Amino acid sequence: MKPLALNAPRSALSVLAAAAIALGALPAAAQNAGQIAHARAGASCPRCNLFQADFGSQEMKGRNFAGARLRQADLSASVMNRTNFGGGDLRDVNAYGGVFTGANFAGANLTNATFVGAYLQGANFRGATLDGVNFSGAEMDHAVGLTQGQLRNACGDEATTLPRGLRLRRCD
């Protein structure tokens, strides 16, 4: 039989571990519902916390979301022409079928974003992080600021159009 003093810390650690696992299993919630509602209503929202915002199928042309946190946001089938996402956190964004003519993604972190079938003509990607981005079927042959180094860890398919001289690996 083990002394009680040795069992107590293990028991407390077990409870803490179970609580951490349970909290980790909960879905992440939008961080600032008020800012999301403000943006959905038509306002620009630079440096806002728009984590997991649902802007799918919205028309939000010419907005300023510079430096905003849009991580895991849904921008699918949205129209965001001339919208400024410069310096923003757009990791894991779903922009499937979105229209981003002349949008500014300069300096933005787009890691693991999905731009499948997106229209990105004239979009500015200068200094953007594009690791893990899926550009399958994206039209972006007139995008600016793209380098081969940025595209090294992104992917696309035979329908992806890129500026002359740039290549993407095929998505798995």
Over pLDDT 90: what percentage of the chain?
A: 81
49 in any annotated domain? yes
- What's the rounded mean pLDDT across residues 20-27? 40
At residue 97, φ and ψ (nearest 5 deg) are 70, 15
Task: Count the neighbouring beta carbons within 10 Å of the beta carbon of residue 160.
Answer: 23
Residue 142, domain extent? 29-172
Task: Determine the length of the chain.
Answer: 172
What's the pLDDT score for residue 83?
98
Total number of domains constituting the chain: 1
**For residue 108, is it within any domain?**
yes
Residue 135 has pLDDT above 80, yes or no: yes
**Is residue 149 pLDDT above 50, yes or no?**
yes
pLDDT at 31: 72
157, part of any domain: yes
| Residue range 43-92, pLDDT digits in tens | 999 999 999 999 999 999 999 999 999 999 999 999 999 999 999 999 99
Q: Please give the Cα distance from 18 to 73 (Å, whole number).
A: 29
Is this prediction's pTM over 0.95? no
Return the CATH number at 170: 2.160.20.80
